[in-house]
Structure 1
Amino acid sequence: MATESPAGELGAPAPAFSLPATDGRTLTLDDVRGEHGLVVVFMCNHCPYVLGALPHLVRDAQELAAHGVNVVGISSNDAATYPDDAFERMVPFAAQWTLPFPYLYDESQQIARAYGAVCTPECFGYDAGLKLRYQGRVDASRYAPVPDARRDLFEAMREIAQVGVAQGPRYPALGCSIKWKTDE
């Protein structure tokens, strides 16, 4: 069953992190932030909603870079229950999709909890000062990319990069729930 993200508190600061990346580095929030903003996308390898949105997310990440907005993907799913989302499988996934952004692993799930992430893909868009200005979906794509879909994330982040806020509509993210560990 699909999970919809709740509305986030606009203006909230981005929680700090230091996580391993599929390229062998360990990256922090400061390492990945862009001059004019940052998008943190909670995603994973197996979710059909991620796979449906990924072509548009890759395109949008490439184009947002020209606006000084960086993107980072974070997988927080329990790999013991969902082995397709294990870190060792994230590496070939990132290569297969030629991800133009770092793909990080949140094994402890503490970062997903700090951000209040509930589903994949779920986007958190921050301004240059790392204050939350957008939370929601990439676009209307679900199990497959929707041709000519309004570019919700891209349009919001372009506006945030230019004027610091987004005036357009915010649509909640809809996707698979984050697969939380049950032995906590």
Structure 2
Amino acid sequence: MSLTPSNMLPLGTIAPNFKLQDTITEKEYTLDQLKGPKGTVILFICNHCPYVIHVNPMLIKIANDYKPKGINFVAISSNDIVNYPQDAPHLMKKNAEQMGYNFPYLFDSTQEVAKAYDAACTPDIYLFNKKLALVYRGQLDGSRPENSIPLTGSDLKNALDCLLENKMNTSIQKPSMGCNIKWIK
């Protein structure tokens, strides 16, 4: 595991479109099909990263709380499954079902989507407005598996609230930290 920060894609960047298979339903979806009426959270995650495992319960809670408010959530795994077979699509589906994901868990087999988003780590979190312009990228909150900071989701929730209230998010956007994406060699 290599601790890696987000690359911090420039705010205002338009979300790159994609067409990926949802490991839960086995259907292909585009970003246009999955975007929310008021905003969309794109999460680059995987099954085995301890940082993702640590934040999973809060990601699910936030998705449950904000989905009825018009925010859709989309999780994507882009890891190399040859060298990291625990992130294979059939195990992604199993993990999503066990965790109770209420959002698609897509597999980026070519890693082209991760590259288009300049994703670097898991979890890497992006919030786009209804026009798919980036308004937040960074950490869920300051909690990490190795520190004693409580898991609250405060940074992402603040960004979501600002978006829904049409207010400028003046908080400092701090990079997410986690395992590096396992790139195909």
Contact persistence 1:41–1:123 (CA under 8 A): yes
- Aligned mates of 2:53, 2:15 — CA distance in 1: 25
Q: 1:38 corresponds to which residue?
A: 40
Contact persistence 2:123–2:176 (CA under 8 A): yes
* Per-residue CA distance 1:12-69 (angstroms, 9 max, x = gap): 1000001000211111101111111000000000000000011110001111112211
Q: 2:101 corresponds to which residue?
A: 99
* Matched residue SS, 1:3: strand
Aligned residues: 182
* Per-residue CA distance 1:150-179 (angstroms, 9 max, x = gap): 511121012112216422221101000000
Structure 1 residue 94 displacement after superposition: 0.4
Note if 1:123 corresponds to 2:138: no
Note if 1:170 corresponds to 2:173: yes
User: Which of these residues, 127, 133, 136, is aligned with residue 135 of structure 2?
Assistant: 133
Gaps of 5+ in 1: none
In the alignment, residue 97 of structure 2 is paired with which amino acid?
Answer: A
Q: 2:18 corresponds to which residue?
A: 17
* % same residue: 39
* Per-residue CA distance 1:47-92 (angstroms, 9 max, x = gap): 0000001111000111111221111000000000000001111110
Contact persistence 1:40–1:74 (CA under 8 A): yes
Runs of 4+ with >3 A deviation: none
TM-score by length of 1: 0.94
- Aligned mates of 2:109, 2:16 — CA distance in 1: 16
* Per-residue CA distance 1:91-137 (angstroms, 9 max, x = gap): 10000000011100000000000000000001011001000010011
Structure 1 residue 148 displacement after superposition: 5.6
Quick check: 47-56 or 60-69, which moved more? Answer: 60-69
Q: 1:82 corresponds to which residue?
A: 84
Quick check: 100-109 or 64-73, which moved more? Answer: 64-73
Question: Alpha carbons of 1:39 and 1:164: their partners in 2 closer, same or farther (altered >3 Å)?
Answer: farther
Gaps of 5+ in 2: none
Structure 1 residue 10 displacement after superposition: 0.6
Q: 1:53 corresponds to which residue?
A: 55
- Aligned mates of 1:3, 1:66 — CA distance in 2: 32
* Matched residue SS, 1:163: coil
Q: 1:180 corresponds to which residue?
A: 183
TM-score by length of 2: 0.93
Structure 1 residue 8 displacement after superposition: 1.7
In the alignment, residue 155 of structure 2 is paired with which amino acid?
Answer: D
Contact persistence 1:139–1:150 (CA under 8 A): yes
Note if 1:158 corresponds to 2:147: no
- Aligned mates of 1:148, 1:49 — CA distance in 2: 12
Contact persistence 2:58–2:152 (CA under 8 A): no
- Aligned mates of 1:35, 1:107 — CA distance in 2: 28
- Aligned mates of 1:138, 1:33 — CA distance in 2: 20
